[in-house]
Amino acid sequence: MPGGVEQVLTLQSAEALRPRWNWQAIITLAVLAIVGFLVILPLVFLVEESLNTGDPMAFPPQAYGIANYIAIFDEDIRVLWNTLIIAVMATVMAILIGFVLAWILTRTNVPGRALLERLMELPYYMTPLVGALAWAVIAGPKSGFVNQLWKRVGGGGDLVDIYGHFGIAWVMALFEGTVAFVMISAAMKSMDPALEESAQVMGASKLRTTLTVTLPLVMPGVLGATLFVFAEMLGSFAAALVIGIPARIYVITTAIWDSTLAYPPDYGRASAMGLALFVVMFGMLTFYRRMIRSGSYATITGKAFRPRAMDMGRLAWLLFGVCCLYIFLAVVLPIAALLFTSLQRFATVVLSQAQFTLANYQTALSLGPVRTALVNSLTLGFGVASVGVLVMALLVWIIYRSQFVGRGAVEYLVMFPQAVPRLVFGLALLWAWLNIPIPIYGTLWLLALAYFTVMLPLGVRTLAGVVLQIDKSLEECARVCGAGWVYQMRTVTLPLLKPGVIAAWLLIFMACVRELGASVFLMGPNAKVIAPSIVNAFASSGTELTAAMALIQTFTVIVALVILFRLTRGVTGEMT
Amino acid sequence: MNETRIEVKDLVVRYGEQVAVNGVSFAVGRGEHLTLLGPSGCGKTTTLRAIAGLEQPSSGRISIDGQAMYDAAERRNVPTEQRGVSMVFQSYAVWPHMTVFDNVAYGLRVRKQSPADIAANVERALDLVQMRHLASRPASRLSGGQQQRVALARAVAFSPTVVLFDEPLSNLDAKLRAEMRVELRELQRRLGVTSVYVTHDQEEALAISDRVIVMNVGVIEQIGTPEEIYNRPRSRFVADFVGSANLIKGKLSGEGLFAAEGGAVLKVNAPHKPRGTETEVAVRTAYIGLAPQPGDNQVAGTVRQRLFHGDFVQYVVDSALGPLIVRRPPTNLLEEGAPVTLSFSPEHTVLLQEQGA
């Protein structure tokens, strides 16, 4: 462009004329500082503690070294082995489930496809904790329902035993399968049907088309899902806690938890293990994102196609059955088993021996600690969701609508907790707040802070999804029509944002009520919350009471979920 | 049209390091319909948005009815809502959470009109676009064409004196677009508003404007009536972008004479004062005849290819000037290989300014 240099020079002097929005910069910096404090500081504490080779309870450490890391390989090699075996088994099963379901629901004319697709979201909301409890009731040795029935029909010994490597992997796979399903079906849906059609036009048979075109194109999506699911499995906690600990099978997450329970608590070891887990998971997830973003797969456009459904004839009903079986195993059977258990004095499937009672619910709702825990969880849910949505809305506005230069950094910070396993984050917060001279350790305030921090990615992504959907010109048009900023916000922006804000609120509320990983570390004797209390009850009281508690929690989540579905027709963005 | 309604002077808009609009000046008269035409990224939409106050310029001045809306020197920037202009957006921006009526009534409510006036004005606006029967329908249940009409009704409902159009027809299919073009022109005449219209569709620009501004890479290439732009393009860019033209290379060889590279000498017409260093002339494909005419430039040629388009026939004719494209009415079809005499009047043989001049 001629005269480009002079032009730029004159422009820079013109730039100086622009009004400076200092308040905007100040607010943004303040938000950046607060979020940075919440997100990064605990991890700094964690790194320091993992290098502590002196007295594990001393802060700051008296001696530094990498002894804690070496000890993992010396003493906990069995734990690493368990983690690997279980994660591999669970990943294989979850991908298998996800792939089969995705193929059925995107590529065949299975009856009731739309409804089935909605139902596939349910296992995700069931939570692995509830699932693990239910499967302990269903397939535990001796008293498990399956084994009770087996004995009734004359079988000897136990038919099934969930307390093993496979059992843990099974429960994990069942509830992570739906994540695999969402990811793989997205890959299948984003394929232009014309790619297959052109193969057929060239004379390729259906089988040949599948082998030479369909599979190679879907494979990257499947690989990506495998990587993602495997990383999740390495950091998964609930199933390993409920099923692994009674079976004395420790994986890395439960080992971290266990070392903080020892006396004196070995925070150094726990920190080292937590950081190692974080680094591995972070590496895998980064690799996964790189792979997704690299765009070497030109088929994966943002556009969603509805690929041509294959006509399966009568076989369609068999496929329908496969889908129903999954829903049955992951949702119906666990809920039914828990319900059945919770309504009895002593859990049995033999109806003639069953004594039905509502006493467990009565106990759950009247027993001091349990009731407090439930009330605390609901309070935290309401509080964190309400305050959180406001702060997150501000963050979303800074990241996506403001002109502030630091907004990229804000986005990175806000999304960071996603990369840290909940459990490790809980541990980091625990250690940080034990040593920060603000006395909120052991109170609900710390839990509230922790919940807010770990919910940041979820809330910001949900709100951002809505904000980005609102075409900027909808707001601009209001201004052109003569509306001031306040009038425009009231009549156009907020009404359009409303469904998104409500959805974000409900998602955060649900996530708070279910929160386990961070809560186990941060709950104090006077600040109990429901999910860890359920785990404690399972370890110390009967399964009947535990089942009642789990169902009360599930019911709360379901109510929120029903409202959510009513409002938004499904928010699945949370999963990927 | 002697009274100036909008005046844009030395407007510069920058996005970071990029200069989107690089010193643009023009004026729009009262009741005039002006179109900014250019390819995507030429700065036309940015200019329009700067007039609306939706884009903050880096320097220059924009005034409406003699009042400065933006002035870099005075550090003055009137917010959008106080500029009193109206706008139709490319995406229509019809609010999905309101009914058609509420959409159209928005600007009236902002202006605190009485409910009776609002009802009357909304009705009048909806009548203009034949949408009155859909007043109570939620805007989320409208087709593209219907949304476009609602956006139009909303833009004129509060009787603005200036209406800005940002590619309002680009999301409609070809047939509907042609219909809406006719309606828009009609609407403008009836309301007597001043309008600035942005489009990348040269046919649309020529059809509905009093004057057209052709823009490219942030600067104005040419300003003129549609006939001027079409008949006397100033630069290669305008000749090429607006309508279809043959470009012939060569050099000036005397007063009004141009020696083409193939050896032929053409009588040419220069809309600007020739510098003597020009290297190209443009001849519209529609202005070339295939039979000799007295007084014309004439070159012998052979039909190489014939494409039948229906409304016209396009011939590619090989000649001493190189292959030329000729569009004729679909009568007296010529066969491929037929010998012809290309003839075009010197008036339509337009000498182009050099690039970058």
For chain A, domain boundaries: 22-50+69-575
Residue A2 and residue B356: Cβ atoms within 8 Å? yes
* Chain B CB contacts of A496 below 8 Å: 95-97
Question: Residues A477, B87: contact at Cβ < 8 Å?
Answer: yes
Segments in chain B below pLDDT 50: 1
Give the H or E element holding residue B327. Answer: strand B322-328
Kindly report, residue by residue over B42-60, the tens digit of the pLDDT.
Answer: 999 999 999 998 888 999 9
Q: Which of B21, B70, B97, B221 to mutate to test the interface with A (most CBs of A within 10 A)?
A: B97
CA of B6 to nearest chain A CA: how many angstroms apart?
A: 16
* Chain A CB contacts of B69 below 8 Å: none
Q: Which pLDDT score, from 0 to 100, does residue A13 have?
A: 37
Instruction: Please list the alpha-helical segments (H only) found in A190-236.
Output: 193-201, 206-209, 215-234
Q: What percent of chain A has pLDDT over 70?
A: 88
CA of A569 to nearest chain B CA: how many angstroms apart?
A: 17
Q: Which of A481, A487, A497, A569 to mutate to test the interface with B (most CBs of B within 10 A)?
A: A481
Identity of the residue in A2, A17, A481 whose CB atom sits nearest the CB atom of B106: A481
Q: Which pLDDT score, from 0 to 100, does residue A486 have?
A: 80
Q: Which pLDDT score, from 0 to 100, does residue A307 have?
A: 62
> For A72-77, which contacts have Cβ atoms below 8 Å and span 24 or more sequence positions?
A72/A269, A72/A272, A72/A273, A72/A276, A76/A255, A76/A273
What is the SS3 assignment for B143?
coil
Kindly report, residue by residue over A54-72, the tens digit of the pLDDT.
Answer: 776 666 777 777 888 888 7
Identity of the residue in A4, A19, A483 whose CB atom sits nearest the CB atom of B110: A483
CA of B182 to nearest chain A CA: how many angstroms apart?
A: 24
Closest chain A residue to the Cα of B166, Cα to Cα: A473
Mean pLDDT of chain A: 81
Q: Which of B83, B95, B164 to mutate to test the interface with A (most CBs of A within 10 A)?
A: B95
* Chain B CB contacts of A497 below 8 Å: none
Q: Where are the domains of chain B?
A: 4-230, 245-351
Domain B4-230, CATH among 3.90.550.10, 3.30.160.270, 3.40.50.300, 3.30.870.10: 3.40.50.300
User: Using H for helix, E for strand and C for coil, what is the string for A317-384?
Assistant: HHHHHHHHHHHHHHHHHHHHHHHHHHCECCCCCCHHHCCECCHHHHHHHHCHHHHHHHHHHHHHHHHH
Question: Residues A496, B139: contact at Cβ < 8 Å?
Answer: no
* Token duo for residue B199: 């489009």
Closest chain A residue to the Cα of B71, Cα to Cα: A17
How high is the ipTM of this complex? 0.79
Per the model's pLDDT, the better-predicted residue between A166 and A260 turns out to be A166
First to last CA, chain A: 45
- Check if CATH label 3.40.50.880 holds for domain A22-50+69-575: no
Residue A487 and residue B14: Cβ atoms within 8 Å? no
* Token duo for residue A104: 């059925």
Give the H or E element holding residue B196. Answer: strand B194-199
Identity of the residue in A17, A476, A491 whose CB atom sits nearest the CB atom of B54: A476
Q: Which pLDDT score, from 0 to 100, does residue A293 have?
A: 67
- Whether A205 has a pLDDT exceeding 80, the answer reads no
Identity of the residue in B81, B84, B107 whose CB atom sits nearest the CB atom of A484: B81
CA of A479 to nearest chain B CA: how many angstroms apart?
A: 5
CA of B75 to nearest chain A CA: how many angstroms apart?
A: 7
Q: Which pLDDT score, from 0 to 100, does residue B137 have?
A: 92
Band (A10; pLDDT cuts 50, 70, 90): very low
- Whether A17 has a pLDDT exceeding 50, the answer reads no
* Torsion angles phi and psi, residue A105, rounded to 5: -85, -20
Identity of the residue in B22, B107, B217 whose CB atom sits nearest the CB atom of A481: B107
Residue A481 and residue B86: Cβ atoms within 8 Å? yes
Q: Which pLDDT score, from 0 to 100, does residue A367 have?
A: 73
* Chain A CB contacts of B19 below 8 Å: 1, 4, 7-8, 11
Per the model's pLDDT, the better-predicted residue between B204 and A311 turns out to be B204
* Chain A CB contacts of B79 below 8 Å: 479, 484
First to last CA, chain B: 30
Closest chain A residue to the Cα of B102, Cα to Cα: A491
CA of A404 to nearest chain B CA: how many angstroms apart?
A: 12
Band (A569; pLDDT cuts 50, 70, 90): low
Mean pLDDT over residues A371-395, rounded? 89
Residue A491 and residue B106: Cβ atoms within 8 Å? yes
Kindly report, residue by residue over A410-462, the tens digit of the pLDDT.
Answer: 888 888 888 788 888 888 888 888 888 888 888 899 999 999 998 988 888 88
Sign, Cα dihedral of A212, A214, A218, A223: negative
Residue B75 and residue A496: Cβ atoms within 8 Å? no
Identity of the residue in B72, B82, B93 whose CB atom sits nearest the CB atom of A471: B93
Sign, Cα dihedral of A482, A484, A485, A491: negative
CA of A402 to nearest chain B CA: how many angstroms apart?
A: 14
Q: Which pLDDT score, from 0 to 100, does residue B9 have?
A: 95
Do you find a cis peptide bond into A60, omega within 30 degrees of 0? yes
Residue A11 and residue B59: Cβ atoms within 8 Å? yes
Per the model's pLDDT, the better-predicted residue between A476 and A206 turns out to be A476
* Chain B CB contacts of A10 below 8 Å: 59
Residue B93 and residue A496: Cβ atoms within 8 Å? no
- Whether A195 has a pLDDT exceeding 80, the answer reads no
Burial class (CB in 10 A: 0-12, 13-18, 19+), B357: exposed
CB atoms within 10 A of CB B148: 22
CA of B67 to nearest chain A CA: how many angstroms apart?
A: 17
Q: Which pLDDT score, from 0 to 100, does residue A465 have?
A: 80
* Token duo for residue B4: 């100036």
Per the model's pLDDT, the better-predicted residue between B63 and A367 turns out to be B63
Please give the Cα distance from A506 to A381 (Å, whole number).
9
Band (A185; pLDDT cuts 50, 70, 90): confident
Mean pLDDT over residues A506-517, rounded? 88
Do you find a cis peptide bond into A61, omega within 30 degrees of 0? no
- Whether A173 has a pLDDT exceeding 90, the answer reads yes
Band (A232; pLDDT cuts 50, 70, 90): confident
* Chain A CB contacts of B90 below 8 Å: 473
Band (A267; pLDDT cuts 50, 70, 90): confident
Please give the Cα distance from B271 to B249 (Å, whole number).
18
CATH number for the segment(s) B245-351: 2.40.50.140
Please give the Cα distance from A481 to B84 (Å, whole number).
8
Sign, Cα dihedral of B269, B270, B274, B279: negative
- Whether A14 has a pLDDT exceeding 70, the answer reads no
Q: Would you list which residues of chain A are within 8 Å, Cβ to Cβ, of chain B? A: 1-2, 4, 7-8, 10-11, 14-15, 17-19, 471, 473-474, 476-484, 487, 491-492, 495-496
Nearest CA-CA partner of A564 in A523, A510, A485, A524: A510
Residue A14 and residue B84: Cβ atoms within 8 Å? no
Residue B75 and residue A17: Cβ atoms within 8 Å? yes
Mean pLDDT over residues A33-42, rounded? 86
- Whether A12 has a pLDDT exceeding 70, the answer reads no
